[in-house]
């Protein structure tokens, strides 16, 4: 398990670290998605199980009622209370 | 190895992909109706698409001796125009008796809007009234958890819905158990950048068991891999699971669900 999985996951972890460095260097680290990513990443080292499930929940819309109208066809990857559609739209399928 | 690709948008793929899938052991492919990447402008646009799914695409797959089945609906991404949605749903019954049509799908939610809920409800009513299987798409990313719960509540409140005849697709770690606990089937979609990877899919099988779960590639016009299902067999074998386990998940499970539609037949294959 570890022999096969460690190197790819090590690479992914460094990608996360480099991304967080990059958004700081480009002064966009206060973007709500970057904030959400840092908060979610904290769950990796809290010593509790089911990290994948809990990170997915952390990044999810916590509301329960349907919204009045769509803010665009594509989700953004992290939730914020009143996400405008603007230029953040991207394709997901 | 044999496997069923229960969710692939083959109209978006090249003929080379059919060849590769058959070479890898694919014995049937099922194609839910999908968003074209732009909003279709008329009912006739949908009529032509349904003809493609029920006439042209099965013929293309047949060149590689691959049975092709389809699901019909208006995709949730196109649910905001309630007038168009109503008119499109009205033509779907014309196609339900076609020999490769398995049911209504992939219906569901995209951004969890009221209009999407309205059109989802209409689709469910259409499926129940025509005794069709149902394939449900769950939303992406931050919308998935809420959307899945809305879908489960809507389906659960309809007295005509039989959970064993409904598969809720694109589950992830935070939604799979909710789906299974309500008696529905769950689909795990294998995508390079979102949904699930092969290792995560096998994790979910280890945690939740292998009953009422299928795996699919949902390959389409975006970044996706039509061979994601057989590649996941490699991950299973790497962890020590034998051929029986692989066959149960990648072949027998989808066969069991899809065979609830009498039109889904694979020659002499027994229902696993």
Predicted confidence (pLDDT) per residue in A5-54, tens digit: 999 999 999 999 999 999 999 999 999 999 999 999 999 999 999 999 99
CA–CA distances in Å: residue B196 to residues B7, B238, B246, B252, B268: 14, 18, 18, 21, 33
B263 belongs to a structural domain: no
Span B102-131, average pLDDT: 98
pLDDT surpassing 60 at residue B204? yes
**Measured between alpha carbons, how far apart are the two ends of chain B, in Å?**
15
pLDDT surpassing 50 at residue A65? yes
pLDDT surpassing 60 at residue A92? no
- Please state, in angstroms and rounded to a whole number, the distance separating the CA atoms of residues B31 and B186: 17
pLDDT surpassing 50 at residue A90? no
Contacts of A64 in chain B (CB under 8 A): 146, 149-150
Distance from CA of B153 to the nearest CA of A (A): 11
Buried b (16+ CB within 10 A) or exposed e, B182-200: eebbbbbbbbeebbbbbbb
User: For residue B139, what is the nearest residue in chain A, using CA coordinates?
Assistant: A75
Q: Are B115 and B80 in contact (CB under 8 A)?
A: yes
- Residue B220's domain comprises 3-258
pLDDT surpassing 70 at residue B74? yes
Which residue of B37, B140, B238 is in closest CB contact with A75? B140
Predicted confidence (pLDDT) per residue in B243-258, tens digit: 999 999 999 999 999 9
Residue ranges in B67-195 assigned as alpha helix (H): 82-91, 114-129, 144-157, 176-181
Q: Are B252 and B272 in contact (CB under 8 A)?
A: yes
Question: Cβ separation of A75 and B113 shorter than 8 Å?
Answer: no
Which residue of A62, A68, A92 is in closest CB contact with B194? A92
B252 belongs to a structural domain: yes
pLDDT surpassing 60 at residue A93? no
pLDDT surpassing 60 at residue B9? yes
- Please state, in angstroms and rounded to a whole number, the distance separating the CA atoms of residues B210 and B121: 29
pLDDT band with cut points at 50, 70 and 90 for residue B268 = low
Count of Cβ atoms closer than 10 Å to residue A28 Cβ = 11
Residue B217 belongs to domain with CATH number: 3.20.20.140
Residue ranges in B25-69 assigned as alpha helix (H): 43-51, 57-62
B183 belongs to a structural domain: yes
Give the total residue count for chain A: 93
Contacts of A72 in chain B (CB under 8 A): 111
User: For residue B237, what is the nearest residue in chain A, using CA coordinates?
Assistant: A1
Which residue of A53, A64, A67 is in closest CB contact with B173? A53
Predicted pLDDT at B194: 86
Predicted confidence (pLDDT) per residue in B78-108, tens digit: 999 999 999 999 999 999 999 999 999 999 9
Span B12-36, average pLDDT: 97
pLDDT surpassing 60 at residue B200? yes
Contacts of A68 in chain B (CB under 8 A): 113-114
> Which residues, including other chains, have CB under 8 Å from residue B225's CB and lie 6 or more apart?
B190, B191, B192, B217, B219, B231
Predicted pLDDT at B134: 98
pLDDT band with cut points at 50, 70 and 90 for residue B267 = confident
Q: Which residues of A touch B (CB under 8 A)?
A: 1, 4-5, 50, 52-53, 56-57, 59-64, 66-79, 91-93
Beta-carbon contacts below 8 Å between A and B = 88
Question: Cβ separation of B145 and A60 shorter than 8 Å?
Answer: yes
pLDDT surpassing 80 at residue A84? no
């Amino acid at each position: 398990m570890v022999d096969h999985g460690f190197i790819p996951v090590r690479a992914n972890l460094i990608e996360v670290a480099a991304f967080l460095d990059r958004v700081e260097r480009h002064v966009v680290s206060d973007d709500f998605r970057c904030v959400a990513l840092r908060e979610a990443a904290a769950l990796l080292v809290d010593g509790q199980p089911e990290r994948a499930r809990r990170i997915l929940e952390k990044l999810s819309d916590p509301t329960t009622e349907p919204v009045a109208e769509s803010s665009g066809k594509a989700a953004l990857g992290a939730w914020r209370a009143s996400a405008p559609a603007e230029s953040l739209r991207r394709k997901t399928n | 190895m044999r496997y069923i690709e229960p969710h692939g948008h083959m109209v978006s793929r090249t003929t080379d992909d059919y060849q590769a899938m058959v070479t890898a052991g694919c014995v049937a492919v099922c194609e839910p109706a999908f968003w074209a990447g732009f909003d279709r402008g008329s009912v006739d646009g949908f009529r032509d698409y349904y003809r493609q799914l029920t006439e042209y695409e099965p013929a293309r797959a047949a060149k590689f001796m691959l049975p092709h089945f389809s699901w019909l609906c208006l995709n949730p991404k196109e649910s905001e125009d309630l007038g168009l949605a109503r008119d499109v749903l009205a033509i779907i019954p014309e196609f339900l008796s076609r020999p490769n049509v398995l049911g209504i799908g992939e219906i569901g939610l995209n951004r969890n809007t009221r209009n999407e809920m309205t059109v989802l409800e209409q689709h469910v009513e259409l499926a129940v009234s025509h005794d069709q299987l149902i394939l449900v798409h769950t939303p992406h990313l931050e919308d998935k958890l809420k959307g899945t719960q809305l879908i489960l509540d809507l389906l659960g409140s309809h007295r005509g819905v039989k959970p064993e005849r409904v598969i809720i697709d694109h589950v992830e770690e935070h939604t799979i158990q909710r789906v299974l606990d309500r008696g529905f089937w769950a689909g795990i979609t294998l995508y390079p950048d979102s949904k699930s990877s092969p290792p995560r899919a096998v994790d979910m099988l280890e945690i939740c068991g292998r009953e009422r779960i299928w795996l699919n590639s949902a390959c389409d016009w975006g970044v996706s891999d039509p061979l994601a299902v057989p590649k996941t067999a490699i991950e299973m074998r790497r962890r020590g699971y034998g051929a029986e386990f692989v066959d149960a998940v990648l072949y027998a499970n989808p066969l069991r669900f899809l065979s609830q539609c009498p039109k889904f037949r694979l020659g002499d294959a027994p229902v696993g």
